[in-house]
Amino acid sequence: MKIGEHREALVARVRVVSGVVGVLLAAICGAFWFVQVVKGSHYRELAENNRLRRMAVKAPRGTILDRNGRVLVENLPTYNLLLDRSRAAAVGTSLGFAAPILGRPLPELKALLERYRGVPTFQPVLLGERLALEQVARFRVEELAHPEFVVEVSHRRFYRLGLHAAHVLGYLGEARAEEVADPAAGLKAGDWVGRRGIERTYDPRLRGADGEQVVVVDSRGQPVEELGRQVGRPGENLTLTLDAELQQEAERQLEGKVGAIVALDPRNGEIRALVSAPAYDPNLFARRLAAEDWQKLLDDPSRPLQNRALQSTYPPGSIFKVVVAAAGLAEGVITVAEGVYCNGSKRFFKRPFHCWKAGGHGFMNLESALKNSCDIYFYELGQKLGVERIARYARLFDLGTVTGIDLDGERAGLVPDPEWSQRARRRAWYPGETISVAIGQGALLTTPLQMATVIAAFANGGRIVTPHLVAGAAVPSRPLAVPASALEPIRRGLWKVVNDLGTGASARVAGLEIAGKTGTAQVVAHAAYEDSSTRPWAERNHAWFASYAPFSDPTLVIVVFIEHGGQGSRAAAPVAKALYEKFLGPDLGPAAAS
């Protein structure tokens, strides 16, 4: 036997080695028991996470309509081009393929891709927006050769009116990282959020709730089958109080000008038109790659993004005389019959104050002083009232606070008084300032929207309305703490302004009784009677016209404000006239007013 005398030793060692193998096998079996039985449910969950993708089914954003059901904002299907860099053989080649189809130079696409450097490669990035169908087709045809390109169908916001009502409707922006991180915001990456205007105020209602789709995907993230679908809640459609036709006509009237128009229903505060000029095209914001356009808007010196009707404040000029007059009557400082003689100039506190009319108006009572916008009458009244009482009545008319309109960024303006002077300017109130405030100058600042609610209080017989754009958002009007007897004479004066050869005669419409008040607010100090139209644009006066009609049963308030437009009677009143003619004119019949 070749095996020799050491066979037993060999067999013993075989036994040892196989014993070791046996122990190791048992250990492996135990390890599998641990992974599969002890930790099994953990790994089952991981496997489910692997294969299941929860994909948001975007809820369509609500459309926005005007009061007559005209669509102002809607959603349009759009095709976006996404690039999945992890599936590209060479990103350079992919861009070379896409550039001619997109019609964009290669370096531009490369620069665009550079922006996505920090994004993980398997996360598709946006390369092109709003592809035409033939462009989509060309990417689809080459799908096998270029699987890295994904054409995504989504919805983009379309503002049908373009520039029209831009400031009211606002625009959307992509959710920012900090908003996505905030669970209370309920936003996902890639979601669009209202940034301005109605889109912002009513964002939760317009947005709705996204649904969810559970899909089985393979290792490359390709969907294999759908497991379930949770239906979302589509965004609510919003009907505005806005009248698209009035809005468009008002915008046309402001073409080439800088200013604002507010038209509202004095009975309930419903906004019929709200214009700020110049405007911008909100469709620019419906794209994600429009950084340059955005910068251009920001840099525009005429600040088109600003809603001048409520985000800018101006001295109201002579329109403020209605407030001072109401204060005088309510406080018993003046009567309707009492008069003042205007010879064009008068000294107050050792300083001459001029009337806008050189040579003066002669004898003026309340109604004629309103009709002619006589400054001397109101200088006297202001002196009698004192600044505290003027400020108190201004605040009764809600000046110095926001009106509460359902739009963002509204400014409160400023009602000055000695207390404010000490606090903000750290100096005493000059008595002469009271004289300026009495005719709506000085430190007094208001928005065109505020002036609309002031004039509406005269139109509706003494109620402060809260302007609003969505019917359901109506806040009940509040009674004005000024007796109706103090308002009536002023109403008569306002009638005369337009219909009795007053300063607003240029707004007169045959067959329609309009009441109103002109205003010409000085921007730089100069004699009141001086014509500012020869000065540089930025030094010219602001033109105001605040009005309502029909006189006996007012249904419409129109405030026209033209920045550096010159005289209110020449620049602002004719604009209001054009709008009244079109929308309340006698040939339209009474039905057009409601």
Partner 1 sequence: MRSSSGQISAPLPLPDERPRLAHLGGVRWGLLAAALALTLLGLATVRSATAETGDDFLQRQLVWVGIGLVAMVVAFSFNYQTLLSFSLPLYLASLAALALVLVLGYEAGGAQGWFRVGSVGIQPSEFAKLVTALYLTRYLAAPSGRELPTRQILAAMAIVAVPMLLIVLEPDLGGAAMFVPMAAGMLLVAGVKPRVLLLSVLAGLIVGLLVWNVGMQTYQRQRVLTFLAPDTDPLGAGYQVRQSKIAVGSGEVTGKGYGQGTQSQLRFLPARHTDFILAVLAEEWGFLGVALVLALYATYLWNVAAVAMRARDRAGILLVVGLGSVVAFHVLYNSAMVIGLVPVTGIPLPFLSYGGSFTLINYVSLGLILGVDFRRFVNR
DSSP H or E segment with residue 238: strand 238-239
CB of 35 to partner 1, least distance (A): 5
CB of 48 to partner 1, least distance (A): 8
CA distances from 429 to 5, 417, 445 (A): 125, 7, 17
CB of 12 to partner 1, least distance (A): 9
HEC assignment per residue over 280-337: CCHHHHHCCCCHHHHHHHHHCCCCCCCCCCCCCCECCHHHHHHHHHHHHHHHCCCCCC
Q: Which is nearer to partner 1, 5 or 255 (CB)?
A: 5
Q: Which is nearer to partner 1, 1 or 510 (CB)?
A: 1
Phi-psi region of 58 (alpha: psi -120 to 50; beta: other; left: phi over 0): beta
CA distances from 65 to 71, 221, 248, 415, 582 (A): 4, 40, 14, 36, 22
CB of 121 to partner 1, least distance (A): 9
Q: Which is nearer to partner 1, 1 or 428 (CB)?
A: 1
In 3D space, the residue among 219, 208, 190 whose CA is nearest the CA of residue 82 turns out to be 190
Q: Which is nearer to partner 1, 25 or 57 (CB)?
A: 25
Q: Which is nearer to partner 1, 21 or 189 (CB)?
A: 21
CB of 202 to partner 1, least distance (A): 41
Strand extents, DSSP E, 47-123: 52-57, 64-65, 71-83
The one-letter amino acid code at 147 reads P
Q: Which is nearer to partner 1, 188 or 220 (CB)?
A: 220
Q: Residue 101 corresponds to which tokens in the numbers above?
A: 């189809």
Q: Residue 13 corresponds to which tokens in the numbers above?
A: 């060692």
Q: Residue 264: helix, strand or coil by DSSP?
A: strand
Q: Which is nearer to partner 1, 13 or 54 (CB)?
A: 13
Length of the chain in terms of residues written: 594
The runs of H, that is alpha helices, within 1-105 are 7-33, 40-51, 91-102
Q: Which is nearer to partner 1, 40 or 511 (CB)?
A: 40
CA distances from 453 to 168, 336, 391, 492 (A): 18, 24, 17, 18
CB of 94 to partner 1, least distance (A): 20
CB of 238 to partner 1, least distance (A): 44
Q: Which is nearer to partner 1, 41 or 534 (CB)?
A: 41
CB of 85 to partner 1, least distance (A): 13
Q: Measure the CA–CA gap between 82 and 198, rounded to whole angstroms.
A: 30
Q: What residues line the site for partner 1 (CB under 8 A)?
A: 1-4, 6-7, 9-11, 13-15, 17-18, 21-22, 24-25, 28-29, 31-33, 35-37, 39-44, 46-48, 50-51, 122, 216-220, 224
CB of 34 to partner 1, least distance (A): 9
Q: Which is nearer to partner 1, 42 or 233 (CB)?
A: 42
Q: Name every residue whose Cβ is closer than 8 Å to that of residue 541 and which is 6 or more positions away in sequence.
A: 317, 520, 521, 522, 523, 532, 564, 565, 566, 567
* CA-based R_g, the chain, Å: 35
CB of 41 to partner 1, least distance (A): 7
> In this structure, what are the phi and psi dihedrals at residue 48, rounded to the nearest 5 degrees?
-65, -45
